[in-house]
Structure 1
Amino acid sequence: MALARALVMEPGILLLDEPLTGLDERLRQQMRDEFGRLHKRTGATFILVTHNQDEALSLSDRMAVMHSGRIEQIDTPARFFEAPANAFVARFVGIDTLLRPESISISGNRAVVVIAGQQLAVTLAGTAPTDALVAIRPDRIELLANVEGLADTIELKVVESVYRGLSHDVTLAFADGQRVVVTTSADVTPPIPGEKVRVRLKPGAALLIDRSGMSALAGRDE
Structure 2
Amino acid sequence: MTQTRGAVAFRNVQKRFGSFTAIPDLTLDITPGQLVTLLGPSGCGKTTTLRMLAGLESPSQGQILIGGEDVTRLPADRRDVSMVFQSYALFPHMLVGQNVAYGLEAGGMRAAEARKRADEALDLVGLAGLGDRLPAELSGGQQQRVAVARALVLEPQILLLDEPLSNLDARLRRKVRTDIRELQQRLGFTAVYVTHDQEEALAVSDTIVVMKDGRVAQIGTPRELYEAPASEFIADFIGEACVVDGRVLSVANEIAQVEMGGVTFPLPARGAAPGPARLSLRSNALKVKTSGEGVAGTVASAAYLGDHIEYEIDSSIGRIFVVDDESDTLLATGSAVCLEVRTRGVALIPGAA
TM-score class normalised by the smaller sequence: 0.7 to 0.9
Question: What TM-score results when the alignment is normalised by the length of structure 1?
Answer: 0.80
Any gaps of 5 or more consecutive residues in structure 2? 1-89, 91-146
Question: Any conservation in 1 of the 2:248–2:276 contact (CA below 8 Å)?
Answer: no
Q: Secondary structure at the match of 1:139?
A: coil
- Higher-Rg structure is 2
Q: Tell me the distance in 2 between the aligned counterparts of 1:61 and 1:13.
A: 15
Question: Any conservation in 1 of the 2:298–2:335 contact (CA below 8 Å)?
Answer: yes
User: Using a 3 Å threshold, how does the CA distance of structure 1 residues 131 and 17 change in structure 2: closer, same or farther?
Assistant: farther
Q: What is the aligned counterpart of 2:287 among 142, 145, 149? A: 142
Question: What TM-score results when the alignment is normalised by the length of structure 2?
Answer: 0.52
Question: Any conservation in 2 of the 1:20–1:28 contact (CA below 8 Å)?
Answer: yes
Q: Which has the higher contact order (CA 8 A, sep 6+)?
A: 1
Which amino acid in the other structure matches residue 179 of structure 1?
R
Q: What is the aligned counterpart of 1:106 among 236, 250, 258? A: 250
Q: Tell me the distance in 2 between the aligned counterparts of 1:119 and 1:65.
A: 32
Any gaps of 5 or more consecutive residues in structure 1? 213-222
Question: Any conservation in 1 of the 2:160–2:192 contact (CA below 8 Å)?
Answer: yes
Residues 60-71 of structure 1: pairs in structure 2 closer than 5 A:
60-71=205-216
Q: Tell me the distance in 1 between the aligned counterparts of 2:180 and 2:160.
A: 12
Q: Tell me the distance in 2 between the aligned counterparts of 1:92 and 1:202.
A: 21
Residues 88-127 of structure 1: pairs in structure 2 closer than 5 A:
88-101=233-246, 103-108=247-252, 109-116=254-261, 118-121=262-265, 123-127=267-271
Cα displacement string for residues 56-104 of structure 1 (whole angstroms, at most 9, x for unaligned residues): 1111111111111111111111111221111111122214211123x43
Cα displacement string for residues 85-125 of structure 1 (whole angstroms, at most 9, x for unaligned residues): 11111122214211123x43231333344445x13425245
Question: Any conservation in 2 of the 1:144–1:200 contact (CA below 8 Å)?
Answer: yes
Moved over 6 A (4+): none
Report the alpha carbon displacement of residue 140 of structure 1 after superposing the two structures with TM: 3.1
* Percentage of pairs with the same residue: 33
Task: Give yes or no for the alignment of 1:81 onto 2:226.
Answer: yes
Residues 1-222 of structure 1: pairs in structure 2 closer than 5 A:
1=90, 2-101=147-246, 103-108=247-252, 109-116=254-261, 118-121=262-265, 123-128=267-272, 132-147=277-292, 150=293, 153-175=294-316, 178-185=318-325, 188-210=328-350
Count of paired positions: 205
Query: RMSD of the alignment, in Å?
Result: 2.5
